[in-house]
C-alpha cells in the first residue's frame, strides 16, 4: 500500500468518528509514523464493558489481548496469567473512552525506580492526574516512550491545540475533569517527559491503540491524584 493510501485510510477513519480535525496540517514523517497497517480494529463499547453498571474486567482484558495480537506484542503470551496485569476504569464508568490497562514490571522504593507498561485501546485516555510528594519521597517524575501505535500526550499550560475538545471524552469534559488542552502527537519510538513535578497530564491513544513504556521514580499510590477524584471530594 502506498503511503498516500495509508494516510487516506487513517484520515477517513478519523473523520468517521468526528476527529478529522486532528490531521489538519499533519507533518509528513518517515515510515515509522505508520510502520504498518494493522488488521481490523475491533471497537468495543461501554455496552460491552459494563453489565448492570458493573465493570466487566474480563471483557476489558479481552479487548487488550486482541490489541496485543494486532501489534504482535512480544510480551503478550505471559500476560493472561500474570498476577500484576490489570485493567482499570477508575470508577468513572466510561472504559470505552477513559481507562487503561497496565503492568508494573517493578516498583522499587529503596532505590527509587519504576518500570511500567501502559496499554490503551483506540482513542482511550488515561484520566487526567498528577503526582505529589508521598512516603517521604519527592513527587514522581516520568518519561514515556511509544512502543506500538501512537498517542496524544497532554500537558497543562501552553497554547490550546485547535479543536482539541472534539477528541476528548464527553464524560470527562462535562465533569470538568480536564484542564490540559495542549497535546503532542507521539509515534513509534518517540519519547517525552513530564515538564515539571506535580504538573497535571494524561495521554490518549491514537486510532490503533497504544503500548507505552514508562520510566519513572518510585510510584507511590498515596502520591497519585486524579482530577476526577478531586472534583468528587470537593462536591
pLDDT in tens, 134-192: 999 999 999 999 999 999 999 998 888 888 999 999 999 999 999 999 999 999 999 99
Task: Find out whether 102 and 117 touch, Cβ atoms under 8 Å.
Answer: yes
Distance CA 93, CA 167 (A): 18
Q: What is the mean pLDDT of residues 207-235?
A: 94
| Average pLDDT of every residue of the chain | 87
What pLDDT score was predicted for residue 3? 38
What pLDDT score was predicted for residue 39? 54
- The SS3 call for residue 158 is coil
Q: How far is CA 38 from CA 47, 148, 149, 187, 212, in A?
A: 25, 11, 9, 15, 17
Domains of the chain: residue spans and CATH: 3-234 (2.60.120.10)
Q: Does the pLDDT of residue 4 top 50, yes or no?
A: no
Task: Find out whether 163 and 15 touch, Cβ atoms under 8 Å.
Answer: no
Task: Find out whether 125 and 202 touch, Cβ atoms under 8 Å.
Answer: yes
What pLDDT score was predicted for residue 24? 37
Q: What is the mean pLDDT of residues 61-84?
A: 95
Length of the chain: 235
Distance CA 198, CA 131 (A): 5
Highest average pLDDT, of 1-15, 48-62, 149-163, comes from 48-62
Task: Find out whether 182 and 159 touch, Cβ atoms under 8 Å.
Answer: yes
Amino acid at each position: 500500500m502506498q503511503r498516500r493510501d495509508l494516510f487516506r485510510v487513517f484520515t477517513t477513519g478519523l473523520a468517521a468518528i468526528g476527529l478529522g480535525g486532528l490531521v489538519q496540517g499533519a507533518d509528513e514523517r518517515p515510515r515509522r509514523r505508520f510502520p504498518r497497517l494493522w488488521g481490523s480494529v475491533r471497537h468495543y463499547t461501554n455496552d460491552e464493558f459494563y453489565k448492570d453498571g458493573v465493570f466487566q474486567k474480563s471483557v476489558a482484558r479481552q479487548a487488550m489481548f486482541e490489541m496485543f495480537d494486532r501489534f504482535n506484542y512480544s510480551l503478550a503470551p505471559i500476560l493472561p496469567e500474570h498476577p500484576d496485569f490489570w485493567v482499570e476504569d477508575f470508577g468513572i464508568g466510561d472504559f470505552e473512552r477513559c481507562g487503561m490497562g497496565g503492568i508494573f514490571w517493578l516498583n522499587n522504593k529503596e532505590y527509587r525506580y519504576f518500570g511500567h507498561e501502559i496499554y490503551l485501546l483506540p482513542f482511550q485516555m488515561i484520566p487526567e492526574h498528577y503526582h505529589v510528594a508521598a512516603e517521604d519521597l519527592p513527587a514522581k517524575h516520568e518519561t514515556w516512550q511509544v512502543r506500538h501505535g501512537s498517542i496524544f500526550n497532554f500537558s497543562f499550560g501552553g497554547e490550546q491545540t485547535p479543536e482539541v475538545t472534539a477528541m476528548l471524552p464527553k464524560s470527562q469534559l462535562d465533569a470538568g475533569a480536564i484542564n490540559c488542552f495542549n497535546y503532542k502527537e507521539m509515534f513509534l519510538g518517540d519519547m517525552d517527559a513530564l515538564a515539571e513535578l506535580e504538573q497535571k497530564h494524561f495521554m490518549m491513544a491514537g486510532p490503533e491503540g497504544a503500548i507505552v513504556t514508562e520510566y519513572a521514580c518510585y510510584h507511590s499510590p498515596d502520591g497519585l491524584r486524579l482530577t476526577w477524584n478531586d472534583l468528587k471530594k470537593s462536591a
